[in-house]
Each structure stands twice: as structure tokens, then as C-alpha cells.
Amino acid sequence: MKVSNLALNIIGSEIIKLAGEVNEKIKQGEHIYNYTIGDFNPKEFPIPAELKNYIIEEYNNQQTNYPPADGVPELRNAVSNLLRERCQLDYKADEILIAGGARPVIYSIFRTLVDANDEVIFATPSWNNNHYTYLNWGKPVVLETRPEQNFMPTAADIAPHVQTASLLALCSPQNPTGTVFTKNGLLEICELVLAENKRRGDTQKPLYLMYDQIYWALTFGETEHYNPVTLMPEMRPYTIFVDGISKSLAATGVRVGWCSGPKFIVDKMKAILTHIGAWAPKAEQLATAKYLADLKLYDAYILEQKEKIHARLLGFYEGIQQLKNEGLKVDAIHPQAAIYLTVKFALHGKKTKNGMVLSTTKDVTKYLLDEAHLALVPFYAFGSPDSSEWYRLSVGTCKLEEIPDVIKSIRNALLLLQ
């Protein structure tokens, strides 16, 4: 059978593939600590009760027809207010586009700004930039980041590539690492983008910045979230933000996301989405608008959400550090934000009790699943080299009380290795 070249060569999600293997084990009756998907267990992290009731109310009000292509005005106004009051970002309602989660927003940004063979700069590990570049026939310019820099790209990493690129794709807080840009780090990147666009003048397409900040509300301790436009207002013409409620409100299945940016670009994205129809359902849009109208209610939920997530991240971090102190070949980066912990299993070359050598990261991943009953996503699923020893641990489905048992299970599995 014949299909398009794009379909023939597309690579499916490694995360979903791994989740399928995990679910098969669960079906067979195995107890698996599954921390693969960046999602939430609604029993542990329910969406706000008020939001849920508003959604039901809007369906009872028969709000089941098409929403406006750019989103209902009530929600665009509410998002405008949220960005102004909590992010110090001034975007009017007509500079905001509502979509069915962040994915259609990201896809439409790429379709709007990236021509065939245009270069797209992004770091690894990062979520899906490689796939969105491929879907738009772009040329990936991949920056391999290091644990010493918390896996965040620097201006020095980016600088050699800016003169030939069309899009710089950044995310902070970062998926999969749960780490953030420092103020100075982001400022240096902004200065780089501005200098490059000054060089290009008005005769060339600018170097645009896609800034995915969908986890911005979920920072912990003294960690602060910074964005390019608040730090440097001159970045406004070149920056398009990705945002939504899926992570902050544990509402991954509610499918309400948005972008904010220059009106000309947002209008073009809107035109593209009219042909895709990837709109957030009207009832969910109206309900979200009602919920965001009360920022005190929103703040209270976010505070509770952060406390629950941080307790889980810290529990795993401290447990991994204890294993490290015991001499086991593990490590972790202190949690800063999002729902992810970056963990390391330096087990390449180790032998199992059956004499099998763990030669590859896939071997290590399988061993952790089989012996520790632990399912994590290796960083190679986010574009890092196949040999990377680092993993993403997602706590959205974790019960706090199970963490000691997980650490014990990891310890027992590692002690079996030679």
C-alpha cells in the first residue's frame, strides 16, 4: 500500500509506545509504578470543583455548537486578564487564540512561521520539537544540553545557529526536565534574538521565538519563572507564547489551551486552525472563562496543587539521594518546577542475576520495569542520544504514600546487579 512520504517516515511517540508496554504488564496482573505519562490521576489531582460544575452547567445550557474560530470572547478576555495580573504580560483579547490544548497551538505556530527547509533550533531533551519540525518539512538544529546546566540551553549553545534559523523553540519550565531558565540565562538569549533581528532588518523574515510556558504556574521553593517579553519588552514582536490549563489545573482532558503574540501572527494561526477545527469545546471555554474570572479562587487551587506536586517530587528526590549515598549508581536534579523529576540510572555495563549485561539504555529501562516494577521515560524519547543515562519521572499519577515502597523496590533491584 502507498502512502505519503510524510506518513511513511513519521516516527510515533516513544512515550506512548512505552506506555503500551507498561499497560500490557498491568493487564497481566503485574503491579507497576507507572510514572511515564505527563498526566494526572484525577483521584489524586482532581480539576477544580468549580470548573467541573461550570462545565456541566454550560452543557446543561446547551452550549454544544461551534465556538468562534479564535475562541469565545469571554475566555480571551479572561486569559488577557490572567496574563496581565499573574505574568505581567499585556495582550489584548484579539492577540489571543484559544485551541483544543497546547498541541494545536504549537502545530499552528510551526505552520505559520516555518517554511519547507527552514531551520528550527531546539534543545534536547525537549518535548516533540523534533516531530513538529518534521511535520513542517523543517530542518532541525539540535542542541544537546548537559546536566551541569540543568539541561537548559544557553545563549552560547544557540549563537552559532541564529543567522540561518527561522524559529527558536524554547520551553520553561521544561518538559521533560522540570528545570527553568535563570533570569540572566534567558536575558542573554533574548539579546541574541534581538541582535540577529536587527542584523536582518526589514528585508528578511525575523527569527521568531516560540516560548512554551504551560507549566509556568508550577514552580517550587525559590524558583522563579521568567518570560522573554516581561524581561525585555523589545522581544514582543518576535515572541509567541504557548499556554493553557492542562497542567496548572490538572485538566489535560478538558483541552483548553491558548497562545498570545503579535496580532498578525495570531490571525494567521487562527486561519490555519479554521481548516483543522482543533477548537476547544464551547462549553469548556465558557466554563474556563467563568473560573478564571475569580483569580483568588485560581490562586488557592494553584497553591494546593503546588504543595501536592512538590511533596511528591521532593519525596522521590530525597529517596534517590539516599540511594546515591548508599553507593548505588543513581542521581537526580533537585526539583524546580512542573511535574517532573530528572533522574539518572548509571547502570550500563552492569550484569543481572542471570548474567545478562545491560548494554544499552533500552536494556536498563527494561530492567527497571521488570525488576523494580518502575516505568520511566528515558531521555532518548525526547531526542537525547540513545546512550543517555537520564530519565523523566512524572509524579502526576503518584500516590504520596507509595514513594517509600518505590524507593525500596529500586534499591532491591539495583542490589541484584553486579
pLDDT digits (tens, 9 = 90+) for 96-137: 999 999 999 999 999 999 999 999 999 999 999 999 999 999
Cα–Cα distance list, 316 to 268, 279, 303, 376 (Å): 44, 37, 20, 13
Least confident of 10-24, 209-223, 380-394: 10-24
- How does residue 13 score in pLDDT terms, banded at 50, 70 and 90? confident
**pLDDT surpasses 90 at 2:** no
Does the reported pTM lie above 0.85?
Answer: yes
CATH of 65-294, one of 3.40.190.10, 3.30.379.10, 3.40.640.10, 2.40.50.140: 3.40.640.10
When pLDDT is averaged across residues 262-271 and rounded to a whole number, the result is 98
Same fold, 5-45+300-415 and 65-294: no
Q: What is the pLDDT of residues 301-339, one digit of tens each?
A: 999 999 999 999 999 999 999 999 999 999 999 999 999
Residues 6+ apart with CB under 8 A from 61: 283
- How does residue 28 score in pLDDT terms, banded at 50, 70 and 90? confident
* 8 Å CB contact between 367 and 352: yes
| Residue 20 confidence (pLDDT) | 79
Homologous superfamily assigned to 5-45+300-415: Aspartate Aminotransferase, domain 1 (3.90.1150.10)
- CA atoms 271, 273, 276, 280: torsion sign: negative
3-state secondary structure the chain: CCCCHHHHHCCCCHHHHHHHHHHHHHHCCCCCEECCCCCCCCCCCCCCHHHHHHHHHHHHCCCCCCCCCCCCHHHHHHHHHHHHHHHCCCCCHHHEEEECCHHHHHHHHHHHHCCCCCEEEEEECCCCHHHHHHHCCCEEEEEECCHHHCCCCCHHHHHHHHHHEEEEEEECCCCCCCCCCCHHHHHHHHHHHHHHHHHHCCCCCCCEEEEECCCCCCECCCCCCCCHHHHCHHHHHHEEEEEECCCCCCCCCCCCEEEECCHHHHHHHHHHHHHHCCCCCHHHHHHHHHHHCCHHHHHHHHHHHHHHHHHHHHHHHHHHHHHHHCCCCEEECCCCECCEEEEEECCCCCECCCCCECCCHHHHHHHHHHHCCEECEEHHHHCCCCCCCEEEEECCCCCHHHHHHHHHHHHHHHHCCC
Domain segments of the chain as ranges: 5-45+300-415, 65-294
